[in-house]
Structure 1
Amino acid sequence: MSADFSSEVDGDADASVPVWAAFGDLMSILLGAFVLILVGVIAVQLQLEVKLNQEIAQRKLETQRRQTLERALAVPLAAGRITLADGRIGIRGSVLFALNSDQLQPEGRELLKSIARPLAAYLRERDEALMVSGYTDDRQVSDANPEFADNWELSAQRALTVTRALIAEGVPSSAVFAAAFGAEQPVSANTSAAGRANNRRVEMAPVPRLQRTRASSDAK
C-alpha cells in the first residue's frame, strides 16, 4: 500500500509540472508583448516629438521671414501706401495709376522699385511665386476710357503693368504672374467714392509654385 501511495504522490507531482511550466511560458509571452508595446509607444512618441520640433522650427523660420519682409516694407507701410495682412500686400490703385489708366504713376513706380528686392529675396527663400492681382470698382471703365472693353481688361492690364515693373526691378520672371478679378471681390461697398477707391487696388500674394511632373518635363 505504501508503494501505491508513493506512486500516486509521484504521479500528482509529475502532473503539476506542466501547469507551472505553461504558466511561466504565458508570463514570458505577456512580458514580451508588453515590452513590444512599450517599445512601439516610445517609438511613436519619439516620432511625434521629432515632427513637433520640425513644425516649431518651421514656424519660427516663417515668422523670421515674415518679419524680414515687414521690416523691408516698413516705410511704405508706415506711410499708408501699402497694407500687409496675412502675407498679402495691398496697394491702393490711386498710388499706382490714375483713374481708368494702366500707366504707372511716378509714385507707384518708385514704390514698386523699393519693394522689388525684398520681395525677390522673400520668394527665393520660400521657393514661392508671387501672384499680382488687379481689381477695379463696379463702374464700367468703357464709359470713361474706350481703350478698355471692360473692368476685366483694365484689371488685367494693371496687373500686367505691375508684374512687368517688378521683373524690371529684379524679381525673376519665373517667380511672378498676373491675375485679373475686375470688379469681383470688393473690399468695400461700391456706394461711395471712398469705397470705390478702396476697391481699385492691386494685391500681391506669395503662393506655392506649380510643380512640373516628370512626364511634362520630358515632353518638353
Structure 2
Amino acid sequence: MIDLDDGDAAGQQVAPVWAVFADLMSGLLGAFVLILLGVLVAQMDLVASLQAEVEKRQIEEKRRMALEQALAVPLASGRVTLNDGRIGISGSVLFPVNSDQLRPEGRQLLRSLVHPLRVYLGERNEMLMVSGFTDDKRIQEGNQRFADNLELSAQRALTVTRALIEEGMASSQVFAAAFGAEQPVASNASESGRALNRRVEMAPVPRSAGPKSAGAPKRP
C-alpha cells in the first residue's frame, strides 16, 4: 500500500500559503488602484483650478484694457492714473488742503470722466465706488468742519460722488466710501508721500459689491 497521508498534509499546508499570497496581492492591487484614482482626481482638480485662474486673469485683463481705452483722454492728461482697475486722482487736483470744496479744475476733470465711465458701467451693469483717502496728519485745531481724517475723507468722497451725479452720472451707478488714513500708497514720513496719500479713487465694482457689501466705512 502507498501512504498518501504525508502528501495530502503537505498540499494542505501549501494551499493556505498561496491563498494568503493571492489575498495580499489583491489587497495591494486594490490599494494601488485607489491611490491612482486619488492622484487622477487631484490632478483633474488642479487642472480645473488652473483653468479657472487663467480665465479669471483673462477677464480682469480685458476689463483693465476696456477701462483704459474708455479713459484714454483723461489718462493722457496725466491728472488721472489707472492702477489695478482703480482710477486715482490726486487730492490737490480736486481740493484745497483740509477742504471738501471742489476746485474749478477738479470739477472740470470729473466732468470729463462722466461720459466714458457711464458707458463703461452701463455695458457691464456695474457700479462706481468713490473712495476718499487722507494722509496721517491730524486735522488742524480750530477746524470746525471735520472731527478727524475719516470724516474729511468721507466728505470728499461724497463731494466727488455728488459732482459726478450733477454732471450726468446716474445716482444708481455710484456710491461713496471713506478710508481716512488707511491704505496709504506711500510713506507719510515725507510731504511728497503724504501728498500721494491725499487722494480720491474710483473703482468699478459688481452691483453685488455695492454700498451694503463693499466692506468700507461710509457716510450718509
Q: In the alignment, what sits opposite 1:15?
A: 13
- The 5 A counterparts of 1:88-99 are 88-98=86-96
Structure 1 residue 109 corresponds to structure 2 residue 107: yes
CA contact (8 A) 2:71 2:113 kept: yes
Q: Which has the higher helix share?
A: 1
Q: In the alignment, what sits opposite 2:41?
A: 43
**C-alpha spacing 1:20/1:108, structure 2 compared with 1 (3 Å):** same
Q: Secondary structure at the match of 1:3?
A: coil
The count of aligned residue pairs is 207
Structure 2: stretches of 5+ with no match in the other structure? 215-220
Q: Secondary structure at the match of 1:148?
A: coil
Question: 2-side partners of 1:190 and 1:10: how far apart?
Answer: 96
Give the deviation of 1:162 after TM superposition: 0.3
Q: Spell out, residue by residue over 1:8-34, the C-alpha distance to the aligned partner (whole angstroms, 9 max, x if none).
A: 122212321121122112211211111
Q: Spell out, residue by residue over 1:59-109, the C-alpha distance to the aligned partner (whole angstroms, 9 max, x if none).
A: 111111112112222222221111223433221234323566533344323
CA contact (8 A) 1:129 1:207 kept: yes
Q: Secondary structure at the match of 1:91?
A: strand
Identity among equivalent pairs (%): 49
Q: Secondary structure at the match of 1:104?
A: coil
CA contact (8 A) 2:152 2:180 kept: no
Question: 2-side partners of 1:32 and 1:149: how far apart?
Answer: 72
Question: 1-side partners of 2:181 and 2:29: how far apart?
Answer: 70
Give the deviation of 1:157 after TM superposition: 2.5
Q: Secondary structure at the match of 1:130?
A: strand
Give TM-score scaled by structure 2 length. Answer: 0.71
CA contact (8 A) 2:126 2:173 kept: no
**C-alpha spacing 1:11/1:172, structure 2 compared with 1 (3 Å):** farther
Q: CA RMSD in A?
A: 3.8
Q: In the alignment, what sits opposite 1:81?
A: 79
- The 5 A counterparts of 1:130-149 are 130-135=129-134, 138=137, 148-149=145-146
**C-alpha spacing 1:23/1:74, structure 2 compared with 1 (3 Å):** same
Structure 1 residue 170 corresponds to structure 2 residue 206: no
Give the deviation of 1:35 after TM superposition: 0.9
**Corresponding letter in the other structure for 2:57:** R
**Corresponding letter in the other structure for 1:176:** F
Larger radius of gyration: 1
Comparing 133-142 and 172-181, the one that deviates more = 133-142
Q: Secondary structure at the match of 2:2?
A: helix
- From 63, 66, 78, the counterpart of 2:64: 66
Question: 1-side partners of 2:189 and 2:17: how far apart?
Answer: 88
CA contact (8 A) 1:141 1:150 kept: no
**Corresponding letter in the other structure for 2:113:** I
